[in-house]
Amino acid sequence: MTTIQLTAGCLGHDTMRVRCDLSQAAAPVQVQWNPGEEYQGTQYQCADARHCLNGLAAVGKMLAKQAMYG
């Protein structure tokens, strides 16, 4: 399982974590909006992360943008 952490105070909290099992194309990308909370599933899969220039970080940035702008 690969986990990355993005810091963006504009989300209303300091950090979010995005994780995915990058060895499985169909593995779900999950997000944890606040430390200590449960991870939530997203509409993205590992295959989406593999096709982005920055991989899982790019998917995390898309999720953050969606949270900020709807």
Give the C-alpha separation, 25 to 48, whole Å.
8
45 is a domain residue: yes
Yes or no: say if 19 and 28 are a contact pair by the CB < 8 Å rule. no
pLDDT over 90, % of the chain: 31
Residue at 64 is within a domain: no
pLDDT at 53: 62
pLDDT digits (tens, 9 = 90+) for 24-58: 989 999 999 888 899 999 999 998 887 666 888 88
For residue 69, is it within any domain? no
Q: Name the residue range of residue 40's domain.
A: 2-56
In a domain, 25, yes or no: yes
Residue 68 above 80 pLDDT?
Answer: no
Residue 65 lies in a domain: no
Q: How many domains does the chain have?
A: 1
Quick check: is 27 in a domain?
Answer: yes
pLDDT at 19: 94
The answer to whether residue 47 is domain-embedded is: yes
Please, what sign has the CA dihedral across residues 6, 4, 29, 35? negative
Q: Residue 10: pLDDT band by 50, 70, 90 thresholds?
A: low
